[in-house]
Amino acid sequence: MSHVLSIAPFAAMTWAHDVFGNAVAVTAFSGLASTLVIDSVSDILLNAAAWPVFDIAASALSYPFRYSDDEWTDLGALTVAQYPDPAERLQKWARGFVRSNPTDTLSLLKDLNAGVAQRVQYQSREVEGTQSPNDTLDRGWGSCRDFAVLFTEAARKLGFGARLVSGYLHDPDHDLVGSAEAGSTHAWAEVFVPGAGWITFDPTNRSVGGRNLIPVAVARDISQCTPVSGSYFGVSDNFLSMDVTVSVTS
């Protein structure tokens, strides 16, 4: 994989890694400008299997299971729900997918993944921020990031370690939800299952595995993997618009 990042106007750029291991470019501008252009070009190889087989450890084949002490410590906050649920509505909704005790772990996660799409209708949303899981359940609609947050929080309510992923959806056949042209910005989730490691779930498309998905950043909370963030100095009404274009070529 190769990656080239260019910014106009010129800015001093340094690279660092955040606590999740994501590469982050930090820039500082020396003067005023009327526009900001961020051009990111990557050359990647997509080779994820369409129907992956997960080698789950024997101890985790059935739910509920117990993470090892080391896994529990290292997963840390990734097992803790990030949104208030005072009436345990999300907890009860998530528990509704547990068919028996014990039950098959992967089947439970697949049912939860499909259950998000069954409960919530996809709707592109351009406004800033993400809905809380209970808001998404109440409204019955949301964007891909709302789907991902709902799934991740529900998985955490069931005791799983889960994280959010921000990246791109590659859709050359134009048949996936949340896509525009051949590629789009996208959000999904990953759940840690012993033996298999981090398993990818895209509730927007009810899919399991990384086919058609290009991860860019992982985080505990969706706000931590915002593609671009920063501060603006100037007159409050100067900002007019922002355009995002994703172009995919073979």
> Could you tell me if residue 90 is inside a domain?
yes
Interval 38-84: pLDDT, tens: 999 999 988 888 889 999 999 999 999 999 999 999 999 999 999 99
Do the beta carbons of residue 225 and residue 174 sit within 8 Å? no
Residues 110, 183 within the same domain: yes
Return d(Cα 114, Cα 51) in angstroms, integer: 16
Domains held by the chain: number? 2
Residues 31, 93 within the same domain: no
Mean pLDDT of 102-115: 98
Examine the pLDDT at 184 and tell me if it is beyond 90. Answer: no
> Could you tell me if residue 198 is inside a domain?
yes
Q: Which CATH number goes with the domain that contains 145? A: 3.10.620.30
Which band of pLDDT confidence, cut at 50, 70 and 90, is reported for residue 181? low
| Most confident of the ranges 50-64, 113-127, 178-192, 227-241 | 50-64
Residues 36, 70 within the same domain: no
Residues 106, 218 within the same domain: yes
Do the beta carbons of residue 152 and residue 79 sit within 8 Å? no
Q: Which domain holds residue 36?
A: 2-43
Residues 153, 215 within the same domain: yes
Least confident residue range of 147-151, 168-172, 215-219: 168-172
Residues 124, 18 within the same domain: no
Examine the pLDDT at 166 and tell me if it is beyond 70. Answer: yes
Return d(Cα 136, Cα 91) in angstroms, integer: 14
Question: Hey, which residues does 8 pair with through a beta bridge?
Answer: 37
Contacts of 169 (CB under 8 A, 6+ apart): 144, 176, 178, 179, 183, 184, 185, 186, 212, 213, 214
Examine the pLDDT at 118 and tell me if it is beyond 80. Answer: yes
pLDDT at residue 182, rounded to an integer: 61
Residues 26, 113 within the same domain: no
Examine the pLDDT at 226 and tell me if it is beyond 90. Answer: no
Residues 123, 209 within the same domain: yes
Examine the pLDDT at 147 and tell me if it is beyond 90. Answer: yes
> Could you tell me if residue 106 is inside a domain?
yes
pTM of the model: 0.92
Residues 198, 126 within the same domain: yes
pLDDT at residue 124, rounded to an integer: 83
